[in-house]
Amino acid sequence: MSRAAFASLSLACLASLSFGAACAQPQLRPLAAPHEKVFLLRGFTNVLSPGIDQLAEELKEKNIETEVANHAFAIPLASEAIDDCKSGRVGTIVLVGHSFGATGALMMADRMQKAGLHVALIVTLDPVIKGTVPANVHRLENFYLSNGIGTTMQPGENFHGAINNVDLKSNPDLGHVSVTTLPSMQKQVIHDILTSTTRCG
């Protein structure tokens, strides 16, 4: 830079300071840190999965990003989760599904596995189809009623995570719908979500 140009710049800075402005380099806005995102899938009809919406509301109160949808949207939601992880915007993925939504959660996990991504936690609530858990899932918690239409989950090929099948048949008041709103179960699910830290990338 020439002396004349430098002098002109200095004068411009001094002039701006006289009006209360600072002569400084522009500051870049820091990028937001990757965060946790929870996808919650309802069952066959949305109104028969009330606990899914209750979980979503409580997670929002704890500033956890949530996405609630019918199980029929599992494939486009998987694409959304893959984009979120690959962009670096989201660091941890959790999937929750009731009834057919449990099958949808496994479908999402399978799509993410094919994309080379991981799922920190899957929570299934009284799944009606016995499913196999993909190898990219770190942990699966399955709450079901063996005296009803619920079933267990089993490890898929090369699965090395943890699977916990919890049979709630000892509570005679629970059914396929009411199991989603069981307070003790919801409390456990919220705890498991908040303590899941496995990165998806």
What's the pLDDT tens digit per position in 21-39? Answer: 333 343 433 345 689 999 9
- Domain tally for the chain? 1
Query: Across all residues in the chain, what is the average pLDDT?
Result: 88
Give the whole-angstrom CA distance, residue 66 versus residue 5.
Answer: 54
What single DSSP character describes residue 36? E
**pLDDT of res. 45:** 86
Q: What is the CATH number of the domain that holds 52?
A: 3.40.50.1820
> What is the domain range of residue 41?
33-194
Q: Is there a domain that residue 10 lies in? A: no
Distances, alpha carbon 26 to alpha carbons 6, 118, 162, in Å: 19, 38, 49
Q: Is there a domain that residue 28 lies in? A: no
- Of 147, 148, 153, 189, give the one whose Cα is nearest residue 40: 189
CA dihedral sign of residues 168, 174, 180, 185: negative
Task: Give the residue-averaged pLDDT of 101-110.
Answer: 98
Give the whole-angstrom CA distance, residue 77 versus residue 79.
Answer: 5
Q: Is there a domain that residue 14 lies in? A: no
Whether the pLDDT of residue 163 is over 90: the answer is: yes
Give the whole-angstrom CA distance, residue 133 versus residue 153.
Answer: 7
Tokens of 173: 């008041």
What is the percent of the chain where pLDDT is above 90? 82
Tokens of 160: 């090395």
Chain position carrying tokens 């992880």: 85
Tokens of 100: 């057919």
Q: Is there a domain that residue 12 lies in? A: no
Q: Is there a domain that residue 13 lies in? A: no
* Farthest CA pair distance, the chain: 88
Task: Give the residue-averaged pLDDT of 98-122.
Answer: 98
Q: Is there a domain that residue 112 lies in? A: yes
Within 13 Å and on the Cβ side, how many CA atoms surround 89? 8
CB 78, CB 107: distance < 8 Å:
yes
**pLDDT of res. 32:** 59
**pLDDT of res. 141:** 98
- Of 132, 193, 130, give the one whose Cα is nearest residue 159: 132
What's the pLDDT tens digit per position in 39-91? Answer: 999 998 889 999 999 999 999 999 999 999 999 999 999 999 999 999 999 99
What's the pLDDT tens digit per position in 185-195? Answer: 999 999 999 99
What is the percent of the chain where pLDDT is above 70? 84
Q: Is there a domain that residue 88 lies in? A: yes
Q: Is there a domain that residue 25 lies in? A: no
